[in-house]
Amino acid sequence: MSAITFKAVNPSTVASQQNFDVMEIENEFCRAVITRQGAQILSFERKIKSAETDVVDVKSLLWCSELSLQQFLDDLKSDRKTKAIRGGIPLCFPWFGGHLTDAKLPSHGFARTQLWDLTSVDQSAQGHQLVFTLQNDAITDLFWHHQFRLTLSMTCGEHLHLVLGIENVGDTDFDCEFAWHSYFPLNAIESVKIDGLQGKKFLDQLTNETYVQEHAQIQFDQETDRIYQDVAGNYQIHDGLQQIDIQTKNCKSAIVWNPWIKKTQRLEDVDAQAWQKFVCLECANVRENRLHIKAGQSDQFSMVIF
């Protein structure tokens, strides 16, 4: 089976490639759900066929809060302003976390709440390939006075493959940060181990202290919020039952976040047990690894998840 379905949630809009809220993709390799807001992939289920029995097993590679998704759909239906959806892979740009000089500006930038354009859809033997773009306009200019074009190419095949291009289309240089704020699903947070960050320096955002990752694997027994710098960019998340692999190019930072019990209670868009169900491992270029993009130049970043 191979299909793309475009859905316009608000009944007053007509579903078409340029006027959709949510799209669903299915092909022989995977099923995926993507919103036009943020060009955000919310769900990616890989189909794994057993060579002996032909039985297809489904491996879910992303977690999404059902409550947050429902709030988003309800806001769309009622023409209310939508919020960032907590789940899948929101893209943080052009800054990560709170804005450094103006606390009123949106946390993690504006790219995750803007409507992107779907500029091409292709299907090949490798699966579906989509390209989304976001350019500066009157809205982004309210937050950030730079001329830019983001191009996010998304291949939904045997693996999920994202390539982000950040282009400076203006005539002055700019600095920016970005993060693929990926939410990965877990069977049990207590059994989770993340490989790939040993020996790397990190800022603990809870204490504001800097440390070096001594243990080969990161494990969780409390709220964790760390920014790692100068990383190699390849990781494995094990949770006792399954392993998720993440391979990146040109992503020099990583953020590891789990809100644990109390912070989860303060989040309005997840259920009280959500801390046991996801970990964020964000592939990024932030803080000391922030980007400097010269006028007329561009830079490219990629991430493969399987």
Where on the chain is the footprint of ligand BG6 (CB under 6 A)? Answer: 84, 97, 107-108, 181, 205, 225, 255, 257, 282
Active-site residue (options: 181, 209, 223, 288) = 181
Q: Which residue bears the tokens 């191009």? A: 151
Q: Closest CB to ligand BG6 among 87 and 157?
A: 87
Q: Closest CB to ligand BG6 among 69 and 84?
A: 84
Distances 225 to 60, 267, 298 between C-alpha atoms, Å: 24, 15, 30
CB of 299 to ligand BG6, least distance (A): 21
Pair of tokens at residue 233: 């960019």
Active-site residue (options: 24, 282, 288, 292) = 282
Q: Closest CB to ligand BG6 among 64 and 118?
A: 64
> 181 an active-site residue?
yes
Distances 232 to 201, 216, 304 between C-alpha atoms, Å: 12, 14, 14
Phi, psi of 66 (to 5 degrees): -65, -35
Cβ partners under 8 Å of residue 9, min gap 6: 21, 22, 73, 76, 77
Cβ partners under 8 Å of residue 260, min gap 6: 220, 222, 223, 224, 275
Q: Closest CB to ligand BG6 among 225 and 239?
A: 225
The burial class, CB within 10 Å (0-12 / 13-18 / 19+), for 127 is buried
75: left (phi over 0), alpha (psi -120 to 50) or beta: alpha
**Closest residue to ligand BG6: CB criterion:** 107
CB of 8 to ligand BG6, least distance (A): 26
> 282 an active-site residue?
yes
CB of 4 to ligand BG6, least distance (A): 28
Q: Closest CB to ligand BG6 among 46 and 181?
A: 181
CB of 262 to ligand BG6, least distance (A): 12
CB of 293 to ligand BG6, least distance (A): 22
Active site residues: 181, 282
